[in-house]
Homo-oligomer: A and B are copies of this chain.
Amino acid sequence: MNRKQNAFYAQSGGVTAVINASAAGVIETARRRRARIGKLYAGRNGIIGALREDLIDTSRESAAAIRRLRHTPAGAFGSCRYKLQSLDQNRREYERLIEVFSAHDIGYFFYNGGGDSADTCLKISELSRRMKYPIRAIHIPKTVDNDLAVTDNCPGFGSVAKYVAASTREASFDVASMAETSTKVFVLEVMGRHAGWIAAAGAMASDAKCEIPVIVLFPEVPFNREAFLAEVKRKVRAHGYASVVVSEGVRGADGKFLSERGLRDAFGHAQLGGAAPVVAEMVKQELNYKYHWAVADYLQRSARHIASRTDVEQAYAVGKAAVEMALAGGNALMPAIVRTGNRPYRWKIAAANLRRVANVEKKLPKNFISANGFGITARCRAYLAPLMRGEDPPPYRDGLPDYARLKNAPVKKKLKGEFAL
């Protein structure tokens, strides 16, 4: 497979502040390897772009535009939530992919996503063997949830962690100012349906030089109302105020999400009101402390303006490594981040077998959560700290971050007919 072939790149699942840095890593590296890689096509809206033969010709973008991707959040080519079934369940989709890939002479497949996408990428890699279509499929890790196996951490997470820790610190300064006559408890809801990595970052708001009474509610720890209220009371008595960082994925001992508890609209329909207002209301009812609550939602994962430099560098590096691995003949691999030192922090990229990544979820280890279940341990702190380090602000225009928008010129279709998803 040493003849020159085209490549396909797509973004998948929830986007992040730095997934476009990975795209820049892929595109710039492919451009430097023109002898081996012809055109780099991006899927419009992820794998759907391949199924629909809706490809974007990235060669139409200037070098300057690609450089600007590095500081632009979200998915420049569009992402999707679409999981390929197995080859046996839906052979039709794989046949279509092969049809599109052959029509455009695509020999390299780069898929930039989380756990589900790793599974999709693995399935594509098997086309090579099972359907006799030669392709090199490399998965590029990306997820704010930080829940991928094998890799030390996931590009996208460090920036969310930095956003959540900085926001918790800032809001804590605010509530500390107000506590004497007004708000005593501030609640911030963060992402992480299944794993508490993002919530853990909230505890980083507090450190030896800037102590802040933060209480974290992890999805890994069943919510205990009495213990929680006692902890809030203890912290408010000691410090005058408290900040609560609650994961959207917190569940009670009954397994139900906190956010599902009891809120109903005027018609009696259950409302998903968020975990933050539920926790805040509990504090009001039981302890009579005035509260404020915020839900960060998309703000946390798109906040490129406060991205971690470490995260941006790693996101770029996995994109670059993916191209290099494919050119070296790799298939069904993922560039993983390997931590080689903590003081100073050092990391390198190594190839991980995609079978060890796909469909595995890495939760927060038990020894990262403090004994009372409301904080993080020194070990967790040592893990998180370097991932949040360094700033890489975007350029500003008229007071706002100046983000790139690509032309996203379509590649002329070669196949007849539409493909129904």
A-side residues, CB < 8 A to B, are: 11, 14-15, 17, 45-46, 48, 72-76, 78-82, 162, 165-167, 169-171, 173-182, 186, 188, 204-205, 207, 209-210, 261-267, 271-274, 276-277, 281, 292-299, 301-306, 308, 385, 388-391, 393, 396-403, 405
Contacts and interface: CB of A to CB of B under 8 A. Distances in A.
A265 B293 contact: no
24 contacts: A45-B181, A74-B173, A80-B181, A81-B178, A81-B181, A166-B400, A170-B303, A171-B299, A173-B403, A174-B302, A188-B299, A205-B400, A207-B398, A210-B405, A276-B295, A292-B298, A294-B294, A295-B295, A296-B299, A306-B306, A385-B398, A385-B399, A389-B399, A391-B396
A274 B271 CA distance: 12
For A82, A166, A274, A281, the residue with the greatest tally of chain B CB atoms inside 10 Å of its CB is: A166
A299 B167 contact: yes
A308 to B, nearest CB: 6
Contacts of A292: 297-298
Given A81-B181, A175-B298, A389-B399, 18 more contacts: A45-B181, A46-B181, A73-B173, A74-B170, A78-B176, A81-B178, A165-B399, A170-B403, A173-B302, A174-B301, A262-B265, A262-B267, A263-B271, A264-B266, A272-B277, A294-B294, A294-B299, A385-B398
A77 to B, nearest CB: 8
A272 B388 CA distance: 34
Contacts of A388: 398-400
A273 to B, nearest CB: 5
Nearest to A77: B177
B74 A177 contact: yes
A399 B390 contact: yes
